[in-house]
Structure 1
Amino acid sequence: MNQFGERIKQLREQKNLLQRQIAHQLFMDTPMLSKIERGERRAKKEQISIFATIFSIKEDELLSLWLADQVYEIVKDEGVALKAIQVAEEEVKYQSKRKSK
């Protein structure tokens, strides 16, 4: 699973930008960005806001994909992965309600 990298590539191509143009703005080399797009490396969380600015999209869109990729990597080989995600979802909902009070 590499939804974050796939979305970055899609956005870059839509804007007709080269990998080196994006990599320069992120202070990384072009091969590193290529690996992020292919899912061989993970972007750092701090880079998400830079990507969002470059592509003029909401940071939340990229953050949710980045987090989903992180969760998937942790649970992908577990037989109870779906159940674990459901339990985590309930906990997030519960904590969100508590914080909103």
Structure 2
Amino acid sequence: MHALKDLLKNGRIAKAMTTRQVSERLKIDQALISKFENGFRRPTRKQVVDLCALFGLDENEAVLCWLTEKILSEIEGEPLGLDALKAAETQLGQIPNRQVDDQFQKLLREMEALKGMLGNKD
């Protein structure tokens, strides 16, 4: 999986746009665009969607990266983070008659990979 910052920066470069041009088109501060691309700030979901539309990126892939990074930032450093991730996965599996699409399955696979990464930190 790619890092969101790399997807956004590569998308902008592929469209031969400057951060200033992106800023003007989307009405987002130029410094903020730079912080997104350097990983110092996380865009909102709406900003991710808008940037994908502007750059012609796969919205599902970018939102999945955004959501995965958001989940990791929430549980990072939490002693019970891995346990919470496992509990959430169990609860999701218990929802009756839930229509699970490809993106949800991909997210579950990413969660498994993240659990493995978190487990290796100890």
User: 2 CA distance for matches of 1:85 and 1:25?
Assistant: 38
The structural deviation recorded for 1:40 is 1.6
Consecutive unaligned residues in structure 2, runs of 5 or more: 100-122
Q: Answer yes or no: is the 8 Å Cα contact 2:11–2:57 preserved in 1.
A: no
Instruction: Label 1:94 to 1:34 Cα distance change in 2 as closer, same or farther (>3 A).
Output: same
Q: CA RMSD in A?
A: 2.1
**Counterparts of 1:1-101 in structure 2 under 5 Å?**
3-95=3-95, 98-100=97-99
> What SS does structure 2 have at the residue aligned with 1:17?
coil
Deviation at 1:38, TM superposition (A): 1.4
Which runs of 4 or more aligned residues in structure 1 lie more than 6 Å from their structure 2 counterparts after TM superposition? none
- Identity of aligned pairs, percent? 24
Displacement of 1:98 after TM fit? 2.8
Deviation string, structure 1 residues 25-81 (Cα, Å, up to 9, x no partner): 221121110011112222111112211211212321111111111111111102343
Q: TM-score, normalised by structure 1?
A: 0.79
Return the alpha-carbon distance in structure 1 between the equivalents of residues 57 and 89 of structure 2: 25
Distance 1:90 1:22 in 2: 41
Relative contact order, higher structure (CA 8 A, sep 6+): 1
Q: Which ranges in structure 1 are unaligned for 5 or more consecutive residues?
A: none
How many residue pairs get aligned? The number is: 98
Opposite residue 7 of structure 1, the aligned amino acid is L
